């Protein structure tokens, strides 16, 4: 007797082609304009522990070529690894330095940025992108950002973040062109802190 193939519990993007394209454009706009909060309109069906925008970016960018690191809070929900693996074909790694993408559900306890792949001086692109899920994300007063993609300066408020964020980001900028790139997610919104950005206060 043939059994029907098990249906995934979470169906991901409604339309994998166009939803991934729109999500990517939002991530690209966010990266090109560091700190500017972008809003996603098409959101995937994924485990509710994941912010919808984080789940969308993960589905749009992750595949079998990109090992994924899950922090303890995301790893504790087996649906997350199962649905990401089902939809993207990605593998998971325990060692943060082996990950292309690190999904961090509890940014206050994020491993040190320096423990992730930094790239090399010759190939700084071989570095990790960190997805941080935060509870607050807007352009109110908070971090003051300067650098490429920003005319003069821009404000970004995000919380919770690692207690040592200021030092971590300063050290990350110091390593330029090596370093990690951050994407922050809250609900349907996202913002980027690429390594080229200088953070004040």
Partner 1 sequence: MSAPSYNFAYLDEQTKRMIRRAILKAIAVPGYQVPFASREMPMPYGWGTGGVQITASIIGPKDVLKVIDQGSDDTTNAVSIRAFFAKVASVAVTTRTREADIIQTRHRIPETPLAEGQIIVFQVPIPEPLRFLEPRETETRLMHALEDYGPMHIKLYEDIARHGHIATTYAYPVRVAGRYLMDPSPTPKFDNPKMHISPALQLFGAGREKRIYAIPPNTEVVSLDFEDHPFEVQRFDRTCALCGAAGVYLDEVLTDDKGARMFVCSDTDHCECRQAAPRLAEGA
Binding site for partner 1 (CB under 8 A): 16-18, 20-22, 24-25, 27-29, 31-34, 60-63, 65-66, 100, 120-125, 127, 129, 147-151, 176-177, 181, 194-196
**Distance between CA atoms of residues 24 and 79, nearest Å:** 24
Cβ closer to partner 1: 30 or 134? Answer: 30
> What's the angle, vertex CA 185, arms to CA 119 and CA 61, rounded to 5?
50
Closest CA to 187 of 16, 15, 37, 28: 37
* Closer residue to partner 1, CB minimum distance, 188 or 196: 196
Handedness of CA 133, 47, 38, 57 (dihedral sign): positive
* Contact residues for 125 (Cβ-Cβ < 8 A; gap 6+): 119
CB of 33 to partner 1, least distance (A): 7
Of the pair 57, 137, the CB lying nearest partner 1 is at 57
Of 66 and 115, which has the nearer Cβ to partner 1? Answer: 66
**Cis amide bond preceding 177, omega within 30:** yes
Q: What minimum distance in Å lies between the beta carbon of 13 and partner 1? A: 11
Nearer to partner 1, 147 or 162 (CB): 147
């Amino acid at each position: 007797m043939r059994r029907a193939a098990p249906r995934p519990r979470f169906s991901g993007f409604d339309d994998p082609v166009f939803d991934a394209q729109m999500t990517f454009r939002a991530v690209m706009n966010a990266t090109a304009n560091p700190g500017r909060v972008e809003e996603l309109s098409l959101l995937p069906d994924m485990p509710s522990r994941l912010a919808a925008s984080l789940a969308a970016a993960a589905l749009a960018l992750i595949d079998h070529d990109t090992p994924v690191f899950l922090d303890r809070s995301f790893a504790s929900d087996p649906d997350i690894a199962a649905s990401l693996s089902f939809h993207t074909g990605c593998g998971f790694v325990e060692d943060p330095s082996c990950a292309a993408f690190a999904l961090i559900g509890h940014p206050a306890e994020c491993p040190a940025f320096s423990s992730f792949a930094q790239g090399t001086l010759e190939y700084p692109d071989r570095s990790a992108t960190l997805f941080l899920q935060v509870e607050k994300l807007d352009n109110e007063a908070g971090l003051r950002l300067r650098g490429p993609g920003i005319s003069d300066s821009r404000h970004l408020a995000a919380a919770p973040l690692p207690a040592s964020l200021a030092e971590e980001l300063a050290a990350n900028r110091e390593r330029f062109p090596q370093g990690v790139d951050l994407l922050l997610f809250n609900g349907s919104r996202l913002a980027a802190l690429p390594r080229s950005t200088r953070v004040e206060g």
